[in-house]
Amino acid sequence: MGNFQQRIIGGKDVIPYSWPWIVNIAFDNFLCGGTIVDDETIISAAHCCDGFQRRAEKVKLTISDHFFHQKDPHEHTFTAETLIIHPDYSRRQIKNDICIIKVPHMKLKTKPLAAPACLPPQGEHPPAGTKCWVAGWGQTEAGSVAEQLQEVDLDIMSDEQCGNTMNGQYLVKDAMFCAGSNGGGKDACQGDSGGPMICGIVPEGVKPTGHGEIRQERFEIAN
């Protein structure tokens, strides 16, 4: 998904604070999502972090957030300390699109509405047909930023089905998997990059890109 423009399409308002691991990340004037891993680590997409490695102080991360423009009574905002992009990241090939963000002093035990995500075993991918969810504050089908955190369900697709639907435009590599909606009308878009894809109770991938095509079957590729 090469244009990195993402919005939650066909989604709905999230029950407030029901995604305790999701992070609202501001990189200067653009928005991405992220996932809390532990007291000082957040993961996001490398294409979000790219260019900010030497100015991490410009990256603001908000946890326990729900409303985009309205300050939540429970939200906490931190400044990134270090951004680490996967050494084999390729923007052109959408390969290894993973970034680790180090954030000291989050002290999650004192923040009851924030919690780290449970990660899947290394190398494990959800099988085709698995129901998953993505969430974010990115643009909706109306083209505006969502006022409240949005979520949408997507199905894991086989590599063959993904490649056929996308006309072979993108290759699903070993460290990737594909998700989408067979009937179309569901997707993620600009502002949702880097956020978690949850399958069951664990995040299975980092959401890199989306097409925003609401009338066609277009699938997502996650790292």
Positions marked active-site: 47, 97, 193
Distance, in Å, from the CA atom of 15 to the CA atom of 26, rounded to the nearest integer, reads: 22
Residue 72 DSSP code: P
The dihedral built from the CA positions of residue 11, 193, 41 and 74, taken in this order, carries a sign that is negative
The contacts of residue 116 (CB under 8 Å, 6+ apart) are 21, 36, 37, 38, 39, 108
Distance, in Å, from the CA atom of 22 to the CA atom of 135, rounded to the nearest integer, reads: 8
The contacts of residue 209 (CB under 8 Å, 6+ apart) are 1, 2, 3, 4, 5, 6, 94, 193, 220, 221
Distance, in Å, from the CA atom of 181 to the CA atom of 47, rounded to the nearest integer, reads: 24
Six token digits for residue 165: 């639907």
Q: Contact 220/193 with Cβ under 8 angstroms? A: no
Six token digits for residue 101: 């963000």
